Amino acid sequence: MPVKHILLAFLVTAIWGCNFIFVKIGVHEIPPLFLCAVRFFLASIPAIFFVRLPTNAYKTVALYGLFMFALQFTSIFMGIAVGMPAGMASLLSQTSVFFSIFFAAIFIREIPTIWQMMGALLSFSGVALAATHLDSNMTLAGFMFVVVGAVASGMGNLITRKLSHINTATLVSWGCVTAFPPLFMLSFFVEGPERILYSLHHVSWLGVVSLLCIVYLSTWVGYGVWSWLLGRYPVSAIVPFSLLIPVFAMLGSALFLGESFEPWKMSVAALVIAGLCVNLLVPQLLRLITRKKLSLDF
């Protein structure tokens, strides 16, 4: 990869990491369900007027939108709103990789490798360690919401495999359209029109900037550039960059939100990221070593 494309991959991971900080700021001013609904409404406009509806696969696209967008991000937004630090939310969200492997084993009989199982064991031992440190700064409700978000993302990844023939712009725009109506209705009945109107009348410029970053930077710039890179390079060359997302999120949360770096948080981060490395990088390294050995033999 040329340096400029490597920098683009770093840019996307930085955007997605900082997105958790914008969410933390946003949910302080806008109810989380309504914030999530507005995000997907704005993300779908004006794209749906230029992107053709995939009528032959719309049911699957709708299912993707409900899991990958509505359920995943509602859970994360709710988790952050009720007491999950932004940095830890980004870290625990990465366990969606292993939920994807779990669902693939159940629904399409894709047996996980020994490295995937070892990676899952390492990462979920980090999740278990985090669960032993629940307090007023990281609540049980916040923890459970974020884990549900990771589960939803794992299911969304499985659905994505059935939509490989649909381009990213179509998937994102119509997935957002699908996510908006149920989220808006849920916000209307759970959070109430009075709370929604109050937040709209009292939102600050910082809340507006956070919303715009969540909508356009994270959704369109992030997904757009990431998909562009995946279209030009092997998945194995691009996906490992996602390991940087919680790094950017935790550093950004410490710098801009004042979140502390206790030793146990560093231990959780080390276990989760080590598990991801075992899952994503070790098989690639073994393949490279095998190829090199074969080339030397010949």
* Coil/strand/helix, residue 233: coil
- pTM score, two decimals? 0.88
pLDDT at residue number 293: 65
pLDDT at residue number 116: 85
* Coil/strand/helix, residue 141: helix
Burial of 89 (0-12, 13-18, 19+ CB in 10 A): buried
**Separation of alpha carbons 282 and 114, rounded Å:** 11
pLDDT at residue number 296: 58
CA distance to 66, 164, 168, 223, per residue, from 54 (Å): 16, 13, 12, 19
State the Cα angle at 282 between 88 and 102, rounded to 5°: 60
pLDDT at residue number 236: 63
Backbone torsion region of residue 163, taken as left when φ is above 0, otherwise alpha when ψ lies between -120 and 50, otherwise beta: alpha
**Separation of alpha carbons 222 and 22, rounded Å:** 14
Residue 167 has φ and ψ, to the nearest 5°, of: -70, 160
Which tokens sit at 56? 């032959």
Number of domains within the chain: 1
* Coil/strand/helix, residue 210: helix
User: Which range of residues forms the domain containing residue 199?
Assistant: 3-297
Backbone torsion region of residue 51, taken as left when φ is above 0, otherwise alpha when ψ lies between -120 and 50, otherwise beta: beta
Cis bond before residue 46 (omega within 30° of 0): yes
What is the radius of gyration, based on Cα positions, of the chain? 19
- Could you report the average pLDDT of every consecutive run of 10 residues in the chain (298 residues)? 86 91 94 94 83 80 90 94 92 88 85 86 90 86 94 87 76 87 94 94 92 88 80 72 86 88 88 86 75 62
